[in-house]
Amino acid sequence: MNEDRAAVRPTERLTEGLTEGLSARLSERPTGRLAIAASALRAPRRLAARADASPYLDRRPPVAALAPTILVAVVVFTMAGLLWVRQANSVADTGREIARALDARDALLMRRAAARVALAEATDPLRLAERAHALGFAEIDEDDVEVVTVVTNGDATVGDPLASPGRRSPLELVVPPAAIAVPEVEPSLSTIPLSLWQALEDGP
C-alpha cells in the first residue's frame, strides 16, 4: 500500500531533499546578499505547503470516488429543472386558460346584457299596451262593463229577466235547469258534425 502510494508520489520524492535542506538553512534566517539569493532558490511556498498539489497528479481515482455523489446531484438538479419547466409550462397554460376564460366571460356578459335588454324591451308596459291595442284590446271605463249573470240552478226565476231582483242587466241570461242539455255520452270525433271539421280546416 505504502509502495503504491510512493509510486504515485514522485514529486514528493524529488523535492524531498531540496526542500528539507533549504528549510534548514533558511531557518537560520541569515541576512545579506547571500540570504536573498538563497531565498530565490527556495521552493515555492504553495508547493512546499502542499506537496501533493502537483499538476502531475492523477486525479482519476478521487473523481471516481465522487462520481455517485455527482451523479445524484446531476439527477436531482435535472429533476428539479424538469419540475421547474413543467411548473412553468403549467403556469403558462393556466395563464392562457385564464385569458381564454376572460374572453369567454366577456362574450357571455355581452350576450347576457343583450338578452336582458331584449327582455326589458319585450316586457315594456308601453310596448305591451301597443301590442294589446293592435290585437284589438282597449281600455274601458267601468261604465262600459256589463255584468251578465248566468244562473244555472233551480232557484232562478224563469220569465222576464228584468223582473228579477238585484242589479241585473237586460242581457242577463237565466237558464232553467231543464234547458241545459247534458250529453249522455262523451262525444267522439265521429259525432262532430262535418261542418265543424270544415270550419276548423278553413280557419286561420
Partner 1 sequence: MRGRVDYPRLPWLGLALLAGLGVVATRVVLLSARPPSSARAASWEPSTEVLPQRGSFWDRRGRLIATASYDRYEVILEKDKLPDPASFLAAAAPYLGARADFARLQLDNPAVQWVTLFTYAMPADAEAVKALAPDGAIVVRPLPSRHYALGEAAGHLTGFVDADGHGEYGLEAQYQEILTGALGHTPGPFGTDPRAYVPPRDGADLVLTIDRDIQMATWRILADHIGKQDATGGTVIVLEPSTGDILASVSYPGYDPNNFGAADVNRYIDPAIGAYYPPGSVLKPISLAAAIDGGVLSPDSTYDDTGTVFVHGVTIPNQDYVAHGPSTMWQMLQLSLNVGAVHVADTLGSTAFYRGLDAFGLGHATGIDEAGEAPGSIVQPGADGWVASNFAYNAFGQGMDVTPMQMAAAIATLANDGRRMTPRLVRQVRPDGADPQDLPPRTAGQIVSAATARTLRTMMESVVESTAKAAELSRYTSGGKTGTSELPDSDGDGEKDLIASFCGFFPVSQPRAVILVKLDRPTGELGSRVAAPIFAEVAEVVADALGVRADKAGANQ
Q: Of these, 102, 158, 173, 199, which contacts partner 1 (CB under 8 A)? A: 102
Buried b / exposed e across 58-92, counting CB within 10 Å, b at 16+?
A: eeeeeeeeeeeeeeeeeeeeeeeeeeeeeeeeeee
Pick the piece of the chain touching partner 1 (CB under 8 A) from 25-33, 92-100, 178-186, 189-197: 92-100
Report d(CA 67, CA 75) in Å as an integer: 12
Of the candidates 121, 141, 125, the residue with the CA atom closest to the CA atom of residue 133: 125
DSSP character for 78? H
**Which are the contacts of 53, defined by CB distance < 8 A and separation ≥ 6?**
46, 47
| Footprint of partner 1 on 159-188 (CB under 8 A) | none
Helices 33-41 and 10-26, axial angle in degrees (round to 10) = 170
Q: Give the shortest CB-31-to-partner 1 separation in angstroms.
A: 35
**Interface mask toward partner 1 for 8-27; x: CB under 8 A:** xx------------------
- What kind and span of H or E run contains 150? strand 150-151
Q: Cell numbers 229577466 correspond to what residue?
A: 161
Of the candidates 46, 35, 43, 45, the residue with the CA atom closest to the CA atom of residue 16: 43
| Footprint of partner 1 on 28-87 (CB under 8 A) | 52, 57-62, 66, 69, 73, 76-77, 80-81, 83-84, 87
Pick the piece of the chain touching partner 1 (CB under 8 A) from 18-26, 98-106, 154-162, 184-192: 98-106
Q: Give the shortest CB-78-to-partner 1 separation in angstroms.
A: 11
For partner 1, the closer of residues 32 and 61 by Cβ is 61
Q: Of these, 10, 21, 30, 95, which contacts partner 1 (CB under 8 A)? A: 95
Q: Give the shortest CB-166-to-partner 1 separation in angstroms.
A: 12
Residue 110 contacts partner 1 per CB under 8 A: yes
Binding residues (CB under 8 A) for partner 1: these are 1, 4-5, 8-9, 52, 57-62, 66, 69, 73, 76-77, 80-81, 83-84, 87-88, 91-92, 94-99, 102, 109-110, 113-114, 116-117, 119-121, 123-126, 142
